[in-house]
Structure 1
Amino acid sequence: MPVSIESLPEISYGVTQNTLDENLDISVYNRASDIPQDVVVALQSNAVRTNVTLPLIEKTRLRENAGDVDFDQLWITCVAIDDEGRRTPELILSCTKNDLGTYPIFISPTIPASHLTEEFVIHRLRLLMVVITAKIPTERVYSIFAPELVAEVFAELWYEMKGVAPYEEPYYAAKLSFCSKKTFRNRQATDMGARGRYILRPAVMSDLRGVAALCFQFAKESEPFVLSEEGALKEAAMLIRNEQVWVHELQANVSSPSLEPQIACLVAFTRNSQTCATISKVVTSPEYRGLGCAQRLVRQVCKSLLNSGKQAVALYVAHDNGPATKVYHNVGFVGLGEADTQPIEGVERWTEIGFDRKKVQLGHW
């Protein structure tokens, strides 16, 4: 049976903590460059599953090496140590932020999904909770995003410990999938007929208003993480400046050849590590839905990213989003077809569970 929090001895951060019949090292880091290399290697070896954690660590390390240190970031690692001193990184928790606000609490496993049993998860999360309570303000924990079992156990333990109730309905329930060069389905882009000509390309600053309108639309459909028009403009500018967004532009149509070009769809990829890119936003303007714009653009973006040297492109697709699931399956994302019934390592159910918004400070991601 897992031990209760009251029975746990005090943890010395960075020092091996003997718990029950195994050694677990629970360590806290405010600098990404202080995270042990074996933990970083474990994350890199699971780049698809750790797409919410690894990219920021890699980017932050580069900034720190250049002298730009932001201590308002935090990572907690759980590493098993056997009797011969061999270390096995198991979980990494992140409490981080971006230019738009604070991220949820992310927990990324670096061990096979089959190891994430309820007993395994409860035991380790109880240990992590002691550290979280000491290092992270209660109001900062506005949601948890992790593999389904991990998120559910975290929410239960957090309520038990802090009295902040989780919402019954998750903010987001999705399947993590990925596309590689091996699975990518390269097809010639379809014609739009009477809708006219189109171009698929990286967005530029002259697209700012069109990109912002779609960012606003996406957030409007992503409660509670809505954006004001000003916030949407800020996000759009950041995406374009960082070269992390492509657009599907309609240039003309048969009935109105002089029509101004319209941005019908965008695909953003904002969490990118050395080997894996992550599509984080796909949105089509309501008036252009059903025309194949999303599939056309997602395929082109994946082709570009894979040709640039990425080994995989990851994304999450909501369980109840049948049209998007079909689009991604057609492009080559694995584990999304009706015949895909066998487990695939890296394809998992992830959940974001929110906490009582009267007691937390909501962020944005």
Structure 2
Amino acid sequence: MPALTTSQSSSPSNSIIIQHDSASDFLAVAYPTLRRHEASANIVLAHALKRVTTEAAMAGFQFICDDDVEDWMSCADAQSLAPHRNSESFWLTMWNTSSSSAPTLELVLSCVNWTLGEYPIFLWTPQSQNALTTTWIAPRVAKIAEHLRFCVPSERVFSVFGMTPLVKAFSRYWSDMTGHAIEAEPFYSAYFSYCNVDTFKDSEAVLPEGHRLRRARLADLEQVAQLCKEFADDSVQFPLVIEQARIEARELISKRQIWVYDAQGDISTICAVTRNTHRISAITKVYTTPRWRRRGCAEFLVREVTAKLLYDCGKESVILYVGHENSAQKVYDRVGFAGLCGKDKPAGVEDSLELGFIGTTRGHW
């Protein structure tokens, strides 16, 4: 990809950036577009929905339409259009405001935190990956990066995650602008995949006697925490001490967001589902402790959880990210997740990347 320039002429014409200092403010304008792309927008949408009331998430935002967005933008205050510091969670949205049509959402940047600290910067666009040309990407990531520089200290941006072309372009520009070199190795190179009722693959395999697939209970806290720690330690970039793992495990259990493979009281495998929107659920953590590997535990559990989400909960699709070199692709492929193990990649299966920056303050996800 050619080098990005900082010249004013590189900025996309007819575009504005709005800074949203609350999830409600962000969803009030972005929700119609996010709803149309609910699967690919899962990270930015789910993180925002967690920060609003249940009533707003389940009812209020469901009735926002594009006309409401145009009305909102016509009344936007000057502060939202100017970059300003925010040490908490916020979102940047870039809009094409051509006079010939209604405002069009082109790019979202989220800068949010959670129980264990700061999340990476997440980038999302409704554009398909095939449409992400250098000509389209370069001026937009330059403009949103320049805006972000005035919102947070550069040390806050420890990594950025999103579709590969966006992340590569943003990271180069951000590194040149701030002086924070890009880490030599990507933090995460992954496929974004999905499973729905058309791709799901059932199995006639039977669980061993005495083994169960179930939601985790508080009585499982120590075992679940240990597996959460092992999962994080495997990532190298975002390890956890056991005290942090207990905090995460307790939150997952209390919110009923984690399932376990129970081998007669020995928890072999965990499967967490932490990003849920109206039609989409994301499997965000699958881990089998080493002594139980190669026995099919993960496949049993992932298939069970995926089936429950699709058939019992009525989700349109279950999504996940899996590393390019992760052997778990075979498990997910056998369950019915699309475009893995070298197979043709249908629309909706995307290449994703997380790049880190040297000299920053590491968060966790």
Given the two structures, how large is their TM-score scaled by the length of structure 1? 0.87
Secondary structure (helix, strand or coil) at the match of 1:333 reads coil
2:135 corresponds to 1:119 = yes
- The two structures, once aligned, show a CA RMSD in angstroms of 2.1
Q: Larger deviation: 22-31 or 96-105?
A: 22-31
> Which residue identity does 2:52 align to in structure 1?
R
The 5-angstrom pairing of residues 92-111 of structure 1 reads 92-111=108-127
The 5-angstrom pairing of residues 283-322 of structure 1 reads 283-307=287-311, 308-322=313-327
> Which residue identity does 1:206 align to in structure 2?
A
* 1:327 alignment counterpart: 331
* 2:184 alignment counterpart: 168
Deviation of the 1:346 alpha carbon: 1.6
* 1:144 alignment counterpart: 160
Q: Distance in 2 between matches of 1:77 and 1:62?
A: 22
Deviation of the 1:313 alpha carbon: 0.8
Change (3 A) 1:166 1:249: same
* 2:356 alignment counterpart: 354
* 1:35 alignment counterpart: 26
Instruction: Give CA-to-partner distance per residue, 1:270-306, whole Å, 9 cap, x none.
Output: 1111111111110001111000000000000001111
2:20 corresponds to 1:7 = no
Q: Do the aligned residues in 2 keep the contact of 1:2 with 1:119 (CA within 8 Å)? A: no
Q: Distance in 2 between matches of 1:181 and 1:319?
A: 24
Q: Do the aligned residues in 2 keep the contact of 1:113 with 1:345 (CA within 8 Å)? A: no
2:37 corresponds to 1:46 = yes
Change (3 A) 1:337 1:221: closer
Q: Distance in 2 between matches of 1:234 and 1:116?
A: 39
Q: Distance in 1 between matches of 2:37 and 2:306?
A: 19
Q: Do the aligned residues in 1 keep the contact of 2:4 with 2:138 (CA within 8 Å)? A: no
Q: Distance in 2 between matches of 1:36 and 1:271?
A: 16
> Which residue identity does 2:242 align to in structure 1?
E
Q: Which of 168, 180, 191 is the equivalent residue of 2:196?
A: 180
Deviation of the 1:83 alpha carbon: 3.1
The 5-angstrom pairing of residues 339-350 of structure 1 reads 340-341=343-344, 343-350=345-352
Deviation of the 1:122 alpha carbon: 1.0
2:270 corresponds to 1:269 = no
Secondary structure (helix, strand or coil) at the match of 2:51 reads helix
Q: Do the aligned residues in 2 keep the contact of 1:26 with 1:128 (CA within 8 Å)? A: yes
Deviation of the 1:5 alpha carbon: 2.9
Identity of aligned residues (%): 35
Q: Distance in 2 between matches of 1:33 and 1:80?
A: 21
Change (3 A) 1:71 1:188: farther
Change (3 A) 1:119 1:8: closer
Matched length: 335
Q: Distance in 1 between matches of 2:283 and 2:162?
A: 17
Secondary structure (helix, strand or coil) at the match of 2:353 reads strand
Q: Do the aligned residues in 1 keep the contact of 2:156 with 2:361 (CA within 8 Å)? A: yes
Q: Do the aligned residues in 2 keep the contact of 1:278 with 1:314 (CA within 8 Å)? A: yes
* 1:61 alignment counterpart: 52
